[in-house]
Amino acid sequence: MNKENPLITIVTPSYNQGKYIEETIQSVLNQTYKNIEYIIIDGCSNDETEDILKKYREYKNIKIIIEKDNGQTEAINKGFKMAKGELIGWINSDDILKYDCVENIVEAYKLNQDATVFYGYIDFIDEQSNKCYTKKIGDLEYNYLLNVNPDINQQGSFYLAKRVKEINYLDEKINFTMDYDLWLRLLKNNNGVNLHKIVGEFRIQYQSKTMTNGNAIKFWKDIFNIRKEKHYNQCKRISRIQFRFIRWCIYAGLRRMGINLKFE
């Protein structure tokens, strides 16, 4: 272990995000902290992605894997299993890391080496990379995520690599909320650290998995399945998460009627 400059691994799962992936790559290369291993796992994109990746094959700190996979979760796990860093995280191929994200994460890690999850605030950006708003979250712990609010900020978050390995990485059966599942398993018996700083940017892209019509309900289905199948004994019979889901359904119905309200 390099106590002053620990190696940090960042993974980018990629598929047909040629319009944005170079901005993602540059956000990693332009980090103020330099001891970074960067792994890009592309699932054989059929757009301009491969041509963009060719420009970065000679970079010593970048590994590029192009091969078929079974989706985002498997791609991230491939990268995690190759990772040599003490902390590991992923940034999707249309999202962005703030320039000082890793530097701030490492400083927090030095002060909290028993913690397993490091995270902060994120900016939401549009398809032209213009800032829309900042999403802040409070200090998260296991019971809060399980029974109150499942909302997390994945962009710019990092995890203690040895603990991720101990819990057998991401669950590849989960397609939408594998990050929520990971956070629950990491935080069940461990601490997280909120930097209370902006660490990443999430792109509001209407063709993305997150924003595609019909997928939002699948996120909620994943959340309830994770709670039931993995954390049943810790789940409250009636929880605030259930009320959040009911409220989300009401908001979704209003949006279909042309009434747009911000769901928080």
Give the chain's domains with CATH numbers: 8-212 (3.90.550.10)
Q: What is the pLDDT of residue 210?
A: 56
For residues 153 and 121, the answer to whether their CB atoms sit within 8 Å is yes
Other beta carbons within 10 Å of 67? 10
> How far from each other are the two terminal CA atoms of the chain, in whole angstroms?
40
Q: Tens digit of pLDDT for each residue in 183-213?
A: 999 999 999 999 999 999 999 976 655 555 5
What residue spans of 55-97 are helical by DSSP H? 72-82
Sign of torsion over alpha carbons 110, 96, 180, 13? negative
SS3 108: helix
Q: What is the pLDDT of residue 208?
A: 58
Q: What is the pLDDT of residue 263?
A: 56
Q: What is the pLDDT of residue 245?
A: 87
Q: What is the mean pLDDT of each run of 10 residues along the chain (264 residues)?
A: 88 96 98 98 97 96 96 97 98 98 98 96 96 96 96 98 98 96 97 98 76 74 95 90 85 72 59
SS3 59: coil
